[in-house]
Amino acid sequence: MSADNLAVVDQSLNQHFSRALLDPELSIPTGIVGPDGKSAPKRFGVYRNNVVVSLIEALKDAYPSVFSVLGEKNFVPTARNYIAAYPPKSPMMQEFGDKFAHFLESFSPLKTSPFLVDLAKAERAWLVAYHAADDDIIDPQSLGSVPPDQVMDVTFKKHAAAWIQASQFPLFALYCRRDDDSADIDLTQSQNILISRPGTDVIVRHVGAEDCLFFEQIFAGDTLGIAIGAAMEVEEEFDAANAIGILLQSGCCSMLLQPEI
Amino acid sequence: MQTISASSQLSQSIFEPLPIPARAGIGLKAQHVAEILETRADIGFFEVHAENYMGAGGLPHVQLTEIRNNYALSVHGVGMSIGGENPIDKEHLARFKAVVHRYEPGLISEHLAWSTHDDVFYNDLLPVPYTSETLSRVIDHVDVVQSALGRQILIENPSTYVIFEQSTMSEVDFMGEVAKRSGCGLLFDVNNVFVSTTNHGTSPKEYIDSYPLNLVQELHLGGHAPDEDDAGRPLLIDAHDRKIDHEVWELYKQVLSKTGPLPSLIEWDNDVPEWPVLAEEARRADAILGRNLVDGAQSERKLSHVS
């Protein structure tokens, strides 16, 4: 047999091996045996188990609040379906699970729990913030040095770790399930969250609807004046000073940009 | 949606090279870092999985920088898929190189295994058949990695649960050929030898006696879980979830009697215990290493810990 033919045999073996890992219905590749030379499905099963169990555990680690809400009984089959639909594409396991929220949107067994989609997005944002680049953090005093007539025209550069998320569900309470699963959650509430990482710790804040809109505008690159105006349209009593305080002190922005004159 | 991007820019490393001493080391876990630093734990070196430090910033890099400021560091890859059919993933190699460049590890290692096929990463160390074709491919892949890093890497012998009928050479001969023809060094996992030889009904002593131990620069020790195969024969799982087995300690002594002291890593990756349990395993390895020291290696060993 030529080297080329051997390579073809080898290729089909490894192709079969990898397919059989994620599909327990497939027979194990030929030529895989135990010490007696006989086919060894249970031995091959160790690899199947290693792969699937390690990926389920990785998904649990990435989505501890979703896991807490669903419990082991519901999380494991959900994870198995996710793994089949979106197996990892990178050896960086922190990337694995990046489509979980998208998957949950159309996963019919959980369609009566749409809040899980928002929760999965928030947990993903937490992980992204944890690993985000060490951008600069703006000096909380920086706005004070801007000439008063230009203050409303400044814009900000969002920090790599920062994330704002509006939700019609009690997102902050749901997120907190990772640390405390005993609290009752009123699913009719609406809560929004702001995530930032001023140092190494990721901070998750509960923010009101008008604050949420303010940060959405700021992160989109709108001026301070436009962001305040947008928030006031939602709530006339919008506390701009408080929102600006969070903006300057939470570490959610890496740069203050003054208008060019 | 945001994505997690790896740092790909190679800035100048802030660390001077620091060789790994012939002492016990421990696989680093994030939950132990504060206690290690606070107690100034007397550990020969730490080893990390490269893939856990490929994020752009944040706590992992702050922790590892502190560890590297105080200890020798070894970087161990688990996702290069050296034994895979696909070419080495250039993006992953660039990320790996960035980790190596940033932390200047004393040793760099990877596995004789595959983990990626087409574009799927299986998150496990999968076995390769021992044929001349696989051998050529592995040698090529090691060469690609060593060329990119500009450094020698060590390749670790696998723990395996199955045998490939198409294999035409022994694992020992395969490892020796990989090292001889690629110029890589070897990482000898003593637990893997016990797991694989038990699983395949062969002798660990004979495996060790025939292994090219002169090429080994680091040892691994870890715990395994007992199970049974299809016919009720013992099947050991390389679980890294418990203390090192008595028989593995005995094999470790056998290896050291042939090699002299070598950097020896305690691996514990699942059901990770409190720090003192790991430190005790390291003390046990250090005690065995001390008995195998030869000619002045003792004083060298003491000096090699940076505090």
Complete DSSP assignment for B211-250:
S-GGGEEEEEEE--EEEE-TTS-EEEE----SPPPHHHHH
What CATH code is assigned to A133-261? 3.90.930
Q: Which of A15, A91, A201 minimises the CB distance to B121?
A: A91
Among A36, A46, A76, residue whose Cα is nearest residue B224: A46
pLDDT of residue B304: 41
B305 within a domain of the structure (yes/no): no
CATH number for position B275: 3.20.20.150
pLDDT of residue A45: 96
In degrees and rounded to multiples of 5, residue B45 shows phi and psi of -170, 165
Helices (H) and strands (E) in chain A, counts: 9, 6
Averaged over A169-192, what is the pLDDT?
Answer: 95
Nearest-Cα distance to chain B for A74, in Å, is 23
DSSP 3-state of B269: coil
Residue B51 with chain A: CB contacts under 8 Å:
91-93
Cβ contact (<8 Å) for A54 and B119?
no
pLDDT at A249 over 70: yes
Nearest-Cα distance to chain B for A201, in Å, is 8
C-alpha span between B274 and B298 (Å, rounded): 29
Dig out the tokens for B25 from the structure: 């080391």
Dig out the tokens for B254 from the structure: 């056998």
C-alpha span between A6 and A12 (Å, rounded): 10
Query: pLDDT tens digit string along A6-33?
Result: 444 444 677 889 999 999 899 999 899 9
**Regions of chain B where pLDDT drops below 70:** 1-12, 292-307
Dig out the tokens for A116 from the structure: 């899980």
C-alpha span between B227 and A41 (Å, rounded): 14
Residue A40 with chain B: CB contacts under 8 Å:
161-162, 229-230
B16 within a domain of the structure (yes/no): no
Query: pLDDT tens digit string along A76-106?
Result: 999 999 999 999 999 999 999 999 999 999 9
C-alpha span between A220 and A227 (Å, rounded): 10
Locate the chain B residue with the closest alpha carbon to A46: B161
Nearest-Cα distance to chain A for B230, in Å, is 5
Among A211, A219, A207, A214, residue whose Cα is nearest residue A255: A219
C-alpha span between A237 and A113 (Å, rounded): 33
Averaged over A211-234, what is the pLDDT?
Answer: 98
pLDDT of residue A30: 87
Nearest-Cα distance to chain A for B289, in Å, is 33
Q: Is A106 on the interface with B (CB under 8 A)?
A: no
pLDDT of residue B297: 43
Among A81, A87, A78, residue whose Cα is nearest residue A19: A87
Nearest-Cα distance to chain A for B168, in Å, is 12
DSSP 3-state of A186: coil
Q: How many C-beta neighbours within 10 Å does residue A236 have?
A: 8
pLDDT of residue A178: 96
B6 within a domain of the structure (yes/no): no
pLDDT of residue A231: 98
Q: Is B61 on the interface with A (CB under 8 A)?
A: yes
Chain A neighbours among B 234-263 (CB < 8 Å)? Answer: 235, 237
> How is chain A split into domains, by residue range?
1-113, 133-261
Q: How many C-beta neighbours within 10 Å does residue A204 have?
A: 20
Q: Which of B55, B134, B229 minimises the CB distance to A94?
A: B55
Q: Which of A6, A135, A163 minimises the CB distance to B131?
A: A6
Q: Is A248 on the interface with B (CB under 8 A)?
A: no
Q: How many C-beta neighbours within 10 Å does residue A221 have?
A: 12
Q: Which of A33, A54, A134 minimises the CB distance to B57?
A: A134
C-alpha span between B88 and B94 (Å, rounded): 11
pLDDT of residue B12: 67
Nearest-Cα distance to chain A for B293, in Å, is 38
pLDDT of residue A112: 93
Range of the domain at B179: 38-293
Question: What are the CA-CA distances from residue A202 to residues A32, A97, A195, A251, B63 (Å)?
Answer: 47, 19, 7, 10, 15
Cβ contact (<8 Å) for B162 and A43?
yes
Q: Is A53 on the interface with B (CB under 8 A)?
A: no
B283 within a domain of the structure (yes/no): yes
Q: Is A131 on the interface with B (CB under 8 A)?
A: yes
Query: pLDDT tens digit string along A223-236?
Result: 999 999 999 999 99
The ipTM is 0.92
Locate the chain A residue with the closest alpha carbon to B59: A200
Q: Is B92 on the interface with A (CB under 8 A)?
A: yes
Residues found in chain A: 261
Query: pLDDT tens digit string along A34-60?
Result: 999 999 999 999 999 999 999 999 999
* Eight-state DSSP code of residue A170: B
CA dihedral B183, B185, B189, B192 (to 10 degrees): 0
C-alpha span between B156 and B138 (Å, rounded): 12
C-alpha span between A220 and B153 (Å, rounded): 46
Average pLDDT, chain A: 94
Locate the chain A residue with the closest alpha carbon to B271: A57
Residue A261's pLDDT band, with cuts at 50, 70 and 90, is low
Number of alpha carbons in the 13 Å side-chain half-sphere of residue B71: 26
Cβ contact (<8 Å) for B51 and A91?
yes
B27 within a domain of the structure (yes/no): no
Nearest-Cα distance to chain B for A42, in Å, is 5
Residue A35 with chain B: CB contacts under 8 Å:
163, 199-202, 233
Query: pLDDT tens digit string along A115-165?
Result: 999 999 999 999 999 999 999 999 999 999 999 999 999 999 999 999 999
Among B100, B102, B177, residue whose Cα is nearest residue B132: B177
Q: Is A92 on the interface with B (CB under 8 A)?
A: yes
Q: How many domains does chain B have?
A: 1
pLDDT of residue A212: 98
pLDDT of residue A12: 62
For helices A41-62 and A3-22, the axis angle rounded to 10 degrees is: 60
Tell me which amino acid residue A236 is: E
